[in-house]
């Protein structure tokens, strides 16, 4: 089949070893390497199944994320970096649809993130009573 | 969430810090649950389904049936999605449009998705890491024979046909039935079918390989 113009470039001499190394390193069941990858996967599938978007729309965003990364010369190993693209594609779609706002997501990320340092003003009303 | 930030004092405080994408996913999931758009149990079930229940064993059953039953093979080639559903494997969100590709003594098929990671989930589960890698996606198109060699596969002078999956069409390969398998049951045939043989980066096991595997693990 003739080469497709959009196909990513890679150094062919490194390919074979890379592939074998990647394949050999994988346990048969290692579909996800980290729990968050599985959650990101499931959220996208669940939202598609309930009709929040069509799969092709999500897919296009995923293609764009991967292409943008590869245009800068970065390669995708297909592991965790792939699910980072997946997550960005999903967030972008949900923001574009107004399903999740940029600000509310940032705010929530800050909340679920690591605990604030002791001098954080929020530490003042810890234990949440009265206020 | 409108009821303030009291949940800050919850147990999450004491867990190991989450990585940046893990924080993002957790935040996203919380918001979507609060909006009533996802159900945490449904997410658990999806993860379990794709981690454990859907995988290449499904495809192996399809291929074994196609090897054993010429009428089924015809139906599979004519309408893959329908023939796969016949065996009780429903199409996933990616599975509606599927095509089964027949390897022959003169033709070897190889499946790739050059732009992202389209893959026949309903028969193969989720793709292996290397399938999504830049290296695989590039070399399947630029140098398919070199790529097959990298997988230890020499297809001789067969024609190699590369199929680029998309959201419109997903492909999987019906490999050639190995020699000396006439006496095998469908279950035994299914044991010979590997994931890679349905992507086109491998061949089915021979009955002797299969027996060796089952005997002494090496």
CB-based contact, B211 to chain A, within 8 Å = no
Global pTM value = 0.79
Do A15 and B149 count as a contact with CB atoms less than 8 A apart? no
Residue-wise pLDDT tens digits, A27-55: 455 688 899 999 999 999 999 999 999 99
Residue-wise pLDDT tens digits, B105-146: 999 999 999 998 889 988 999 998 899 999 999 999 999 999
Contacts of A18 in chain B (CB under 8 A): 130, 133, 135
On the question of pLDDT at A125 being above 50, the answer is no
Could you say which of B117, B139, B166, B206 is catalytic? B117
Give the pLDDT score at B40.
Answer: 93
CB neighbours of residue B211 within 10 Å:
11
Give the pLDDT score at A63.
Answer: 94
The pLDDT mean for chain A works out to 76
- Please name the residue of chain A whose CA is at the shortest distance from the CA of residue B3: A128
On the question of pLDDT at B13 being above 70, the answer is no
Burial of B204 (0-12, 13-18, 19+ CB in 10 A): buried
Give the pLDDT score at B166.
Answer: 85
Residue-wise pLDDT tens digits, B91-112: 776 656 899 999 999 999 999 9
Lowest mean pLDDT among A3-17, B8-22, B126-140, B162-176: A3-17
Do B129 and A22 count as a contact with CB atoms less than 8 A apart? yes
Q: Is B197 designated active site?
A: no
Tokens of B51: 């981690």
The shortest C-alpha distance from B178 to chain A (Å) reads 23
A-to-B residue pairs, Cβ atoms closer than 8 angstroms: 228
CB-based contact, B16 to chain A, within 8 Å = no
Do A43 and B29 count as a contact with CB atoms less than 8 A apart? yes
Do B93 and A45 count as a contact with CB atoms less than 8 A apart? yes
Contacts of B17 in chain A (CB under 8 A): 113-114
| Residue positions counted in chain B | 218
Residues B42-70, mean pLDDT to the nearest whole number: 93
Task: Assess contact for B21 and B27: CB atoms under 8 A.
Answer: no
CB-based contact, B128 to chain A, within 8 Å = yes
Give the pLDDT score at A41.
Answer: 95
Contacts of A42 in chain B (CB under 8 A): 42-44, 46-47, 50
Report domain extents, chain B: 19-53, 56-214
For A30-61, b/e burial (b = at least 16 CB within 10 A) is: ebbeeebbbbbbbbbbbbbeeebbebebbbbb
Q: Which residue has the higher pLDDT, A91 or A129?
A: A91
Q: Is the ipTM of this complex over 0.85?
A: no
Do B116 and A90 count as a contact with CB atoms less than 8 A apart? no
| Residue positions counted in chain A | 131
Distances, alpha carbon A22 to alpha carbons B94, B128, B136, B151, in Å: 25, 9, 11, 11
On the question of pLDDT at A69 being above 60, the answer is yes
Lowest mean pLDDT among A3-7, B46-50, B68-72: A3-7
Give the pLDDT score at B17.
Answer: 76
CATH entry 3.40.50.2000 includes domain B56-214: no
Task: Assess contact for A99 and B37: CB atoms under 8 A.
Answer: yes
Residues B26-53, mean pLDDT to the nearest whole number: 93
Contacts of A55 in chain B (CB under 8 A): 93-94, 167
Q: Is B116 designated active site?
A: yes
Give the pLDDT score at A10.
Answer: 45
On the question of pLDDT at A25 being above 50, the answer is no
Q: How far apart are CA B212 and CA A11, in angstroms?
A: 37
Do A20 and B4 count as a contact with CB atoms less than 8 A apart? no
The shortest C-alpha distance from A119 to chain B (Å) reads 16
């Amino acid at each position: 089949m003739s080469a497709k113009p959009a196909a990513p470039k890679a150094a062919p001499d490194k390919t074979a070893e890379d592939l074998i190394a990647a394949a050999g390193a994988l346990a048969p069941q290692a579909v996800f390497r980290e729990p968050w990858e599985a959650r990101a996967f499931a959220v996208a599938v669940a939202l598609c199944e309930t009709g929040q978007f069509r799969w092709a729309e999500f897919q296009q965003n995923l293609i764009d994320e991967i292409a943008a990364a590869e245009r800068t010369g970065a390669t995708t190993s297909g592991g965790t970096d792939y699910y980072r693209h997946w997550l960005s594609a999903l967030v972008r779609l949900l923001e574009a649809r107004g399903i999740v706002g940029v600000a509310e997501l940032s705010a929530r990320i800050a909340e679920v993130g690591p605990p604030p340092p002791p001098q954080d003003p929020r530490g003042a009303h810890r234990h949440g009573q009265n206020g | 969430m409108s009821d303030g930030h009291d949940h800050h004092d919850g147990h999450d405080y004491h867990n190991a810090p989450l990585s940046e994408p893990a924080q993002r996913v957790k935040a996203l999931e919380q918001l979507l649950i609060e909006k009533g758009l996802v159900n945490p149990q449904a997410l658990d079930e999806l993860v379990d389904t794709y981690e454990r229940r859907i995988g290449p064993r499904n495809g192996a059953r399809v291929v074994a049936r196609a090897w054993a039953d010429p009428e089924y093979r015809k139906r599979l080639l004519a309408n893959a999605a329908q023939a796969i559903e016949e065996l009780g494997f429903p199409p996933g969100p990616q599975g509606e449009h599927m095509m089964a590709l027949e390897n022959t003594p003169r033709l070897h098929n190889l499946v790739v998705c050059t732009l992202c990671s389209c893959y026949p989930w309903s028969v193969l589960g989720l793709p292996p890491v290397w399938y999504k890698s830049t290296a695989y996606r590039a070399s399947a198109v630029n140098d398919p024979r070199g790529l097959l060699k990298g997988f230890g596969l020499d297809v001789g002078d067969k024609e190699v046909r590369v199929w680029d999956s998309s959201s419109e069409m997903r492909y999987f390969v019906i490999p050639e039935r190995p020699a000396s398998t006439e006496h095998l049951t469908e279950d035994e045939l299914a044991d010979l079918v590997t994931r890679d043989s349905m992507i086109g980066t491998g061949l089915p096991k021979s009955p002797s390989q299969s027996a060796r595997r089952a005997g002494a693990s090496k």
